[in-house]
């Protein structure tokens, strides 16, 4: 009997145990897809942004709702979004711009779905507010903006192109006088109308909001109210047949 045979068998068994056990490649764990950024009308209508472009040689401060503030340094750009990491206050924003001496140079309102630009140069400060979601216009029934913001003016046209507009329609038989904040005044002839624009109307208007008083030819007050405290342009209709009517004003009605 071959005594070497058991030893050979033992060697083969040990070698087999020491050999690496083949393994299959690990199964990769699927990465869940990144959810797309919502672009539905409801999402767009619930958002707003404010771009501050300072091309001047001075610093300006931009304050939202009387508390939250940023400093815009010379030759700088800053974008503030209501859903961003800057954590601005909830919409709507009452925007106030002050120069380095603390003097207010501009005030206006931003609400969803507005995109606002403050442009600062050594020649002055200007602002433009535009609507970023066509689905939020007054022709969209019912507006997604109305469903998301809780704003009573939701879905109505926001002021743009120079800021707030107040249209005075004089359907009376006599001339009327329009007074704003007890100082600024103008007249509107019978059967005529006039659009008062926050930025471009001359002489320069007081800062918003406005206390608007309209008087007849006898100096009697026939309308008194506040304008410019909403993000929507306003229209006041004066007539001989009834009480004055104040409604939102769509700039496109005069186009």
- 223 and 136 within one domain: no
- 170 and 145 within one domain: no
Query: Which of the listed residues 87, 118, 149 is the one where a domain comes to its end?
Result: 149
Least confidently predicted of 5-9, 44-48, 134-138, 168-172: 134-138
Structure tokens at 224: 């008194």
Structure tokens at 194: 């006039």
- 243 and 175 within one domain: yes
Strand-pair partners of 7: none
Pairwise CA distance, residues 112 & 133, whole Å: 9
pLDDT of residue 43: 54
* DSSP 3-state of 93: strand
On whether residue 23 sits in a domain, the answer given is: no
- 182 and 137 within one domain: no
Question: What does the pLDDT look like over 59-118, one tens digit per residue?
Answer: 999 999 999 999 999 999 999 988 777 889 988 898 999 999 998 887 878 888 788 888
Query: Which of the listed residues 149, 179, 212 is the one where a domain comes to its end?
Result: 149
Strand-pair partners of 72: 60
Query: Which of the listed residues 97, 115, 149 is the one where a domain comes to its end?
Result: 149
Strand-pair partners of 52: 78, 118
On whether residue 185 sits in a domain, the answer given is: yes
- 244 and 198 within one domain: yes
Question: What does the pLDDT look like over 199-245, one tens digit per residue?
Answer: 889 889 998 888 889 999 999 888 887 777 777 888 899 998 877 88
- 207 and 134 within one domain: no
pLDDT of residue 122: 87
On whether residue 204 sits in a domain, the answer given is: yes
On whether residue 34 sits in a domain, the answer given is: no
pLDDT of residue 48: 87
CATH number of the domain residue 176 falls in: 2.60.40
- 171 and 210 within one domain: yes
pLDDT of residue 35: 37
List the domain range (segments joined by +) for residue 171: 165-248
Residue 141 has pLDDT above 90, yes or no: no
On whether residue 35 sits in a domain, the answer given is: no
On whether residue 159 sits in a domain, the answer given is: no
- Can you say whether the dihedral through the CA atoms of 218, 193, 165, 231 is positive or negative? positive
HEC-encoded secondary structure of 101-144: CCCEEEEEEECCCEEEEEEEECCEEEEEEEECCHHHCCCCCCCH
On whether residue 109 sits in a domain, the answer given is: yes
Question: What does the pLDDT look like over 36-72, one tens digit per residue?
Answer: 334 444 455 678 889 999 999 999 999 999 999 999 9
pLDDT of residue 195: 94
pLDDT of residue 221: 87
**Across the chain, where does the E strand assignment appear?**
49-54, 60-64, 68-72, 76-81, 93-98, 104-110, 114-121, 124-131, 165-171, 176-180, 184-188, 193-197, 210-215, 221-227, 234-239, 245-248
- 47 and 133 within one domain: yes
- 214 and 131 within one domain: no
pLDDT of residue 143: 36
- How deeply is 194 buried, as exposed, middle or buried, from its count of CB atoms within 10 A (0-12, 13-18, 19+)? middle
Give residue 135's region: left, alpha or beta (phi > 0; psi -120 to 50).
Answer: alpha
Least confidently predicted of 40-44, 153-157, 183-187: 40-44
Total domain count, the chain: 2
- 184 and 142 within one domain: no
Pairwise CA distance, residues 109 & 114, whole Å: 10
pLDDT of residue 147: 40
pLDDT of residue 25: 52
Pairwise CA distance, residues 250 & 255, whole Å: 10
pLDDT of residue 83: 76
CATH number of the domain residue 98 falls in: 2.60.270
- 65 and 133 within one domain: yes
Task: Report which of residues 140 and 65 the model is more confident about.
Answer: 65
Q: Which whole-number Å values give the CA distances from 212 to 68, 192, 199, 204, 215, in the listed order?
A: 29, 18, 17, 15, 10
HEC-encoded secondary structure of 38-51: CCCHHHHHCCCEEE
- 230 and 169 within one domain: yes
On whether residue 74 sits in a domain, the answer given is: yes
Q: For the whole model, what pTM was predicted? A: 0.44
């Amino acid at each position: 009997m071959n005594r070497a045979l058991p030893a050979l068998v033992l060697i083969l068994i040990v070698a087999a145990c020491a050999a690496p056990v083949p393994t299959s490649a690990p199964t990769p764990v699927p990465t869940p897809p990144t959810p797309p950024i919502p672009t539905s009308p409801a999402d767009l209508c619930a958002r707003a942004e404010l771009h501050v472009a300072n091309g001047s040689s001075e610093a300006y401060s931009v304050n939202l709702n009387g508390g939250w503030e940023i400093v815009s340094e010379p030759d700088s750009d800053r974008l503030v979004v209501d859903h961003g990491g800057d954590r601005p206050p909830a919409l709507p924003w009452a925007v106030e711009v002050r120069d380095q001496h603390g003097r207010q140079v501009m005030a206006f309102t931003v609400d969803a779905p507005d995109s606002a630009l403050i442009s600062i140069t050594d020649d002055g400060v200007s602002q433009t507010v535009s609507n970023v979601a066509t689905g939020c216009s007054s022709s969209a029934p019912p507006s997604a903006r109305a469903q998301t913001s809780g704003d009573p003016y939701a879905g109505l046209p926001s002021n743009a192109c120079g800021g707030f507009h107040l249209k005075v329609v004089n359907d009376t038989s006599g001339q009327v006088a329009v007074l704003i904040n007890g100082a600024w005044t103008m007249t509107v002839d019978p059967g005529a109308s006039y659009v008062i624009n926050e930025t471009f109307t001359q002489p320069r208007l007081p800062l918003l909001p406005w206390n608007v008083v309209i008087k007849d030819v006898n100096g009697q007050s026939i309308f008194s109210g506040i304008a410019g405290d909403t993000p929507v342009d306003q229209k006041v209709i004066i007539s001989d047949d009834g009480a004055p009517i104040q409604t939102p004003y769509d700039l496109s009605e005069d186009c």
